[in-house]
Structure 1
Amino acid sequence: MKSIMSINPFWFFLTFWLLPFVVINILQSRKNWHLNRWYNPLRIAITELMVFGGAVIISVAYFLYLYITSEPSLFSSFSLYILVCIVVVFANALIKFLRLKRWINKHSNYAILAFDTPTSWIKSIRCLHIGKLDGVKDAKGKAFFYDKSTLVVPGKHEFCFDIQKRSGKTIVHLYSVYMDFNVAPSTMYVLKENEDAKKLYISYSCSAPETNSQP
């Protein structure tokens, strides 16, 4: 136990800054592997929250240990900065979870739109964004954007999908696709792109096996 506590705070906090993001990216990749079945976004959000929460608890406990043992030489401004960043990231994950849960509680029979596209941590990726839904910009009030999927209220809708190319924080608009279709309650639709024809089509759909208003 003592050998663990004697680890340089810089490397300790840096590890707990990077590890949660690695775990979250693995979870998101697993979600993309299983686009042939319904997934519960609340469970994904809770898992993310637990990962970041665990990092916060362990990091704060380690920080307090160093403070109590009066070893100021082990502290560094960068270690403290990383600790603050971890807490901020956890708070962001908590806010995202609460917003998702509130939206699902209002629309318990929601549908999911997922974009079937390769993912990469390094290369730029193509992503799908609802530019307008029934004439409403960014589908405000009718959709909830979560990770690489979109939760939509059921019903007949007019979609304006924006195909974008994302590299880091840089987003480039490629083209838009207009589609009209009836979104069934508690159903997941997997959309795939035909790059040559610049069109979208539904490659797969499935119904929810259970009510997803609860995790």
Structure 2
Amino acid sequence: MSRSGSTQEKATALDVTAAGLPELGDVDGDAEPLESADLVARRERELAVSHWLLTAADDREQARRQWADQGIALLACGGVLSAVRIPAGLVWAAAGTETLEEADGFLRRFFDGGAVFMDLHAGLYYVLVPGFTAWQWSDRDFPGVECLGTDHFLGVPSPRLTERGGRAYWCVPMDSPGELTYVDEVKDLVSLGVAARAERGLR
């Protein structure tokens, strides 16, 4: 989507209608110390990642409100991050499964770190890559795959949304601020999916 026009117009055009942000449960008073430490560490990671992602927002306060109200905030591509959009069918072909839990596990093993989220309503995966990334392969080679860079906005889920549900969730959560995916790994994933579909006579 073009970066021209107001932020409200962009949000409407992107149809950002995700479910509300789920609350993190309170720590049980009888929980083991390790569980409490893990919860604190998770919250600290989510906060750090949130601050970093918000550097891609035109209006950080508005983006925070969007995360709180809708679960998804509109961020600009082409600066600190870009994204490669991949149809779910290609990812599932590469993973050899259409079960989301199994596909998530495959992606976490396939990528050495990085960050991937899925738009459940549209059936699309978004792999976050460095902002300077230029996708050099044609739609004929990789059908439906597109790199969203400068002049594009992207509805990005809150770092808290790591469970399947709502509009979108992180299937490969960003472990630390700025931990993006190598574009060569994205190409390998898409190539694997294309080859798997070709073996089944699918385009």
Relative to the length of structure 1, the TM-score reads: 0.32
More strand by percentage: 1
Higher relative contact order (CA 8 A, sep 6+): 2
